[in-house]
Amino acid sequence: MSICQYPPRFKGLTIFGLLAPQQAQAHASEQGFVLLLPTDAYIAAGTACVALTVLLLALLPGSVTAALFRPVAFGLRIRAAGVAPIVSCLSCLLLATLVWAGLYGPRDPLTNPLPLAVWTVWWVALVTVQGVLGDVWRWLNPWTGPVAVTRRLLRLPVLFRLPAWLGQGGSVATFLGFAMFMLADPAPADPARLATVVAGYWLFTYIALLMFGPRWYWRGEGIALLMRNYASLGLFGATGGKPGFGLTGWQAVAHRVPRAGAAVFMVVMLGTGSFDGLNETFWWLDLMGINPLEFPGRSAVVKQNAVGLLVANAALVSIFGLTVWLGLRLAGGDLDPVRAFCLFAPTILPIALGYHVAHYLTSFLVDGQYVLAVMNDPLARGEDLLGLGTFYVTTGFFNAQDSVRIIWLSQAGAVVAGHVIAVAMAHAIAVRLLGDNRRAALSQAPLAVFMVLYTLFGLWLLASPRGV
């Protein structure tokens, strides 16, 4: 796609030919070293690891899989119910300050605290913490506190009832809206633009929560559902009214079966994460007719990314549904395919989390340094609060084969671990559903093939040359 009348001449386009969605992608140079790594061997090993897990689970007694996800309860109970709204209000105040900084602070997205807070601290880091540890968003979200205070002060009743037929459709829609902004908007890191979007979304959700009550939080607010889903993977949670600890996914296995909308949402989380990697590859750019060495900028691919996001999600939902249905046919069960889809959808979550970690690890390594710089001198008064002294952001770790190998293997490890846990979760659910291990294994065959192929796809994404 040509955006100018004359062929652009890229004096200065080097091996850095890459980007990611929002923050500086100075990490690009690691791509040259990645292409020199024996990634074919790594990919084969990672995929074999997932395949062997499938085999192992089929051979082991079903009780072993079930035991994997059995939590350990702590003795102590923590009562801090009244604190959550206060933390939420403080979180809202912090958000308001950040929005102010976005509107009136520096224009540079790596100097302004808002884009760093939203894309690096919240989206990359906090979402990961939520998925690894447990539900911190319940405390930190900027809505529940202010809504509770407003409702109390104004003695406001819930004005409207959210139609039941909507299910989690609102959540899917708002999350896709968020994903569209992140992936298809030309400038999601622009401080003023981001401030407007963040403030607008906060206000929209605040009003919706006042109008529809807490139901909106679980059925209309995409971020909340995303966070709740990731929290269900957390090592820490509640079991039998007590705090508990278990293997990643223990809460998701124990939770009641999600409704159809929530199940679709889980698959959309993975579809969005996968497209976020796919849309940067040479393969995708070639498909779009774009020279991968002269990417014309995000403005030129708004429609392609928007349509691609929707198509990728629709395709993944269909493939996943088909796989689950095929498995049930093989196992000879009489389970409703929709219910089966809902039963197995949570097994997608660890894969989505693995992709999230893998995809953003490199940008986090760089942008995390910019976050440190801002924290060192939050009011830009030349302070040195963290004692960093002279502090230059570096990308040197992308310039050496050894460090690039460690980074790549860490990313691949996250993807493979996500799939291994997903396979184990699916098996545990199948054993619980079908009773015996043989039928469970049979029902898992198509899903296992799907998981193995998706591992291959995920690792291929990491090893592929990228052009944006």
Considering only residues 6 to 65 of the shown chain, the ones binding another protein according to CB under 8 A are 6-19, 22-26, 28-29, 31-36
Tell me which residue of 77, 164, 115, 73 sits closest to 363, measured CA to CA.
Answer: 115
How many Å apart are CA 452 and CA 423, to the nearest integer?
Answer: 9
Among positions 375-404, residues that touch another protein (CB under 8 A) are: 376-377, 379-382, 384, 388-397, 399-401, 403
Binding mask 447-466 for another protein (x = CB under 8 A): ------------------xx
Q: How far is 458 from 434, CA to CA, in rounded Å?
A: 30
What stretch of H or E contains 343? helix 337-344
The nearer residue to another protein, 256 or 390, going by C-beta atoms, is 390
Cβ atoms 312, 270 nearer than 8 A: no
| CB distance 143 to 212 below 8 Å | no
| Binding-site string for another protein from residue 305 to residue 334, where x marks contact by CB under 8 A and - marks none | ------------------------------
Which one of 38, 52, 67, 108 is in contact with another protein (CB under 8 A)? 108
> Per rule CB under 8 A, is residue 291 in the interface with another protein?
yes
Give the shortest CB-278-to-another protein separation in angstroms: 15
What's at 381, amino acid-wise?
R
Q: Residues 32-67, buried b or exposed e (16+ Cβ, 10 A)?
A: bbbeebebeebbeebbebbbebbeebbeeebebbee
Residue 235: CB minimum distance to another protein, A: 34
CB of 113 to another protein, least distance (A): 9
Site for another protein in 110-149 (CB under 8 A): 110-112
Among 373, 409, 449, 453, binds another protein (CB under 8 A): 373
> 116 or 227: whose CB is closer to another protein?
116
Min dist. Cβ of residue 101 to another protein (A): 9
Our finding on whether 106 is near another protein (CB under 8 A) is yes
Site for another protein contains 4 (CB under 8 A): yes
- One DSSP character per residue, 118-156 reads IIIIIIIIIHHHHHHT---HHHH-SSHHHHHHHHHHHTP
The sign of the torsion formed by the CA atoms of 430, 433, 435, 439 equals negative
**Nearer CB in complex with another protein: 297/332:** 297
Judged by CB under 8 A, the stretch of 168-176, 206-214, 295-303, 434-442 that binds another protein is 295-303
Contact code string over 403-422 relative to another protein, x by CB under 8 A: x-------------------
Interatomic CA distance for residues 73 and 84, integer angstroms = 22
Residue 216-235 contact track with another protein, rule CB under 8 A, x = bound: --------------------
Q: Which is nearer to another protein, 154 or 379 (CB)?
A: 379
Beta carbon nearer to another protein, 12 or 75 = 12
358: left (phi over 0), alpha (psi -120 to 50) or beta: alpha
Q: How many residues bind another protein (CB under 8 A)?
A: 84
Stretch that binds another protein, among 4-12, 67-75, 166-174, 201-209 (CB under 8 A): 4-12
d(CA 292, CA 242): 53
Contacts 24+ apart (CB under 8 A), 335-339: 335/433, 338/260, 339/257
Contact pick of 66, 84, 132, 187 for another protein (by CB under 8 A): 187
Of 195, 374, 407, 431, the residue at the interface with another protein (CB under 8 A) is: 374
| Cα angle for residues 218, 222, 223 (degrees, 5° grid) | 100
First to last CA, the chain: 14
Six token digits for residue 197: 């979007």
Among 74, 282, 325, 457, the residue binding another protein under the rule CB under 8 A is 282
The least distance separating another protein from the CB of residue 395, rounded to whole angstroms, comes to 6
Give the angle subtended at the CA of 14 by the CAs of 11 and 20, to the nearest 5°.
Answer: 115
Give the integer Cα–Cα distance in Å for 297 and 119: 19
| Least separation in angstroms between CB 28 and another protein | 6
Least Cβ distance, residue 277 to another protein (angstroms): 15
Distance CA 464, CA 461 (A): 5
